[in-house]
Amino acid sequence: MSEEAAPSLTPDAAPFRRLHPLSIILKSLSMLSRNIVAIIVLHFSLFDQNITYTALAALALVTLVVGVTTLIWSRFTYQVTDREIRIKSGLLNRNNRSIPFDRIQDVSLEQKLVSRLLGLATVALETGSGAGEDGQLDALSRADAEALRDTIRDYKAGKITADTMADAEPVTTETPPIFAMDNRRIFIAGLFNFSFVLLAILGALAQNLDFLLPDGFFDPRTWIDALPEQETINGLSSTVRLGWALFAILSLITIGFVSGIVRTFVREYAFRLDRVDSGQRGFRRRRGLFTLTDMVMPIHRVQAAILQSGPVREYFGWYHLKFTSLAGDASGETDHSAAPCAKLSEIEPILFECAIKPASPDIDFQAVNPAFWWRRAIIVSLVLTTAALGAGHFIHSGYLAILLLAIPIILILILNWRHHQYALADSQLYVRSGWWRRKLTILLLRKVQSVDVSQSPLDHPLELATVTIGIAGGSTTAPLRIVDIPLQSAMDLRALLVAHRNHA
């Protein structure tokens, strides 16, 4: 959007405006970055490393991309009226979309690195239709984007009406955050986010650019044969070889920690959670090193709170607070991080804003049936025994050592069983799960959407059942479940949850 055409809420006769002209640069850079690999491939294959042909092809690509992007920009216009946002787009097939303010559920802002340098932001509109973003204005100036977002929220909260819309001037004041993370806290969070994403990125680059690598690059034997002192290495003692093997393992672990720290810094840099009192009450979250995301999560759309931890993290008192919400951010995520690395004393004020009570020490958690672990242990043991006997008979007797894998697996199953518990208290349902990746879900009973009781063929003989609780905005692939509890207890729990939902 140009400087002389700042967004303002005007009557229905307001003219249609275009996005900021700098959006042409943003779109062009995005398209060129996706085609740079094609130019490299052409340089080393079709053009036989001829720099002249490659330069001409690159120039033609830049001209084409900029031309098409400019044409798309000229055909994209929008209008902000006193009741809705209208968007016209499309080159050949024209699309006219009207998004009433009353239908807009969430407005989020996003700034990628280049957008931040240019002072621009993307405004994403969501109507809750289940199809993700329903409208996007890319790109407006940061101030204009924030003004548009705040005005829409005030309109929905009833603080601005159609009669006063044109004179509205949203004012955003900075107050102390309810939670924030400095670099030290982000570093701590990164230590608990062990990841091999760096190796995955390097591997993907190597696979896509394998024509630039020497033959046999991915064959370990090539590197062994290339060692200048291979005979000396073959003559090393088993202790020295073991030392090198341990060094390699430690190197991989170090890479995992470094990858986790870097990934966390990129995602959580300058994390700040503010309380929003204007318009609809909620939380405003800002974070990101290269891509700055700025979203507002209305409190009334929060469905459940999730506390994630682990054995080591919990020992030091660190937790990750997430909210399951009907609101969706720019990536479509509905489990929003509210405090990625926080103490319980820092989490409690955030939960208080949502009228959610943390689990008190005197809550009586109910354990699930021990069949949770021993049925799975039997299946794992049978599979490993079959694999070990088959491999030991047809390949080598050393494969019988596969049976040793049953020991850690069964131990983990037992630990998971001991940490799978549930409780009802203070009109809330508490569900614990996992030992290594510990998760405590706190669900307000009035937010329960559905309750299903199911039995598998293995459940019938033991009179066990699984309770699946449906949450609006929750995951469809990993819903909230309480598994392996007595059938009668499952039916009683279902009756209690439905009764609380009907009285809400």
CATH of the domain at 52: 2.30.29
Sign of CA dihedral 39, 41, 46, 52: positive
Last residue of a domain, one of 363, 393, 417: 417
Distance CA 402, CA 389 (A): 9
For 308-372, give the secondary structure using H, E and C.
Answer: EECHHHHHCCCEEEEEEECCCCCCCCCEEEEEEEECHHHHHHHHHHCCCCCCCCCCCCEECCCHH
> Starting from the edge strand earliest in sequence, which strands make up the sheet with 292-298, in order?
135-141, 120-126, 106-111, 292-298, 282-287, 272-276, 179-180
Q: Is residue 277 a part of any domain in this protein? A: no
Q: Identify whether the C-beta of residue 200 lies closer than 8 Å to the C-beta of residue 256.
A: no
How high is the pLDDT of residue 233? 53
Q: Is residue 503 a part of any domain in this protein? A: no
| Residues 205, 154 share a domain | no
Q: Is residue 172 a part of any domain in this protein? A: no
Q: Is residue 174 a part of any domain in this protein? A: no
Distance CA 357, CA 283 (A): 17
Q: Is residue 103 a part of any domain in this protein? A: yes
Q: Which residues pair with 285 in a beta bridge?
A: 273, 295
Task: Give, as one character, the DSSP assignment of residue 499.
Answer: H
Q: Is residue 262 a part of any domain in this protein? A: yes
| Residues 211, 137 share a domain | no
Q: Identify whether the C-beta of residue 280 lies closer than 8 Å to the C-beta of residue 300.
A: yes
| Count of CB atoms situated within 10 Å of the CB of 147 | 21
| Residues 136, 23 share a domain | yes
| Residues 163, 90 share a domain | yes
Q: Is residue 397 a part of any domain in this protein? A: yes
How high is the pLDDT of residue 372? 95
Residues near 355 by Cβ (< 8 Å), separated by ≥ 6? 444
209 by DSSP, 3-state: which? coil
Q: Identify whether the C-beta of residue 322 lies closer than 8 Å to the C-beta of residue 308.
A: yes
Q: Identify whether the C-beta of residue 160 lies closer than 8 Å to the C-beta of residue 151.
A: yes
Phi, then psi, of 51 in degrees rounded to 5: -65, -30
| Residues 146, 64 share a domain | yes
Distance CA 356, CA 151 (A): 29
Q: Tokens 């088993």 — which residue?
A: 238
Q: Is residue 282 a part of any domain in this protein? A: no
Can you spell out the DSSP letters for 374-409?
A: HHHHHHHHHHHHHHHHHHHHHT-GGGGGGGGGHHHH
Distance CA 116, CA 109 (A): 12
Distance CA 204, CA 504 (A): 51
Residue 422: which of 406, 451, 443, 437 has the closest Cα? 443
| Residues 246, 146 share a domain | no
| Residues 231, 135 share a domain | no
What the block records as the tokens of 259 is 């990858």
How high is the pLDDT of residue 126? 78
| Residues 161, 38 share a domain | yes
| Count of CB atoms situated within 10 Å of the CB of 289 | 15
| Residues 134, 75 share a domain | yes
Distance CA 289, CA 270 (A): 8
What the block records as the tokens of 494 is 């279902």
Domain encompassing residue 389: 371-417
Cis peptide leading into residue 139 (ω within 30°): yes
| Residues 158, 22 share a domain | yes
Last residue of a domain, one of 148, 167, 186: 167
Q: Which helix (H) or strand (E) holds 301?
A: none
Last residue of a domain, one of 250, 268, 286: 268
| Residues 240, 121 share a domain | no
Mean pLDDT by 10 residues, the chain (504 residues): 44 73 86 78 73 84 89 87 84 84 83 86 76 71 83 69 47 76 95 73 57 55 54 60 80 86 92 85 90 87 92 94 76 76 96 92 93 94 89 77 89 96 92 94 91 93 94 75 95 90 65
| Residues 262, 127 share a domain | no
Q: Describe the chain by its helix, strand, coil percentages, rounded to 5.
A: 45, 25, 30
Number of folded domains in the chain? 3
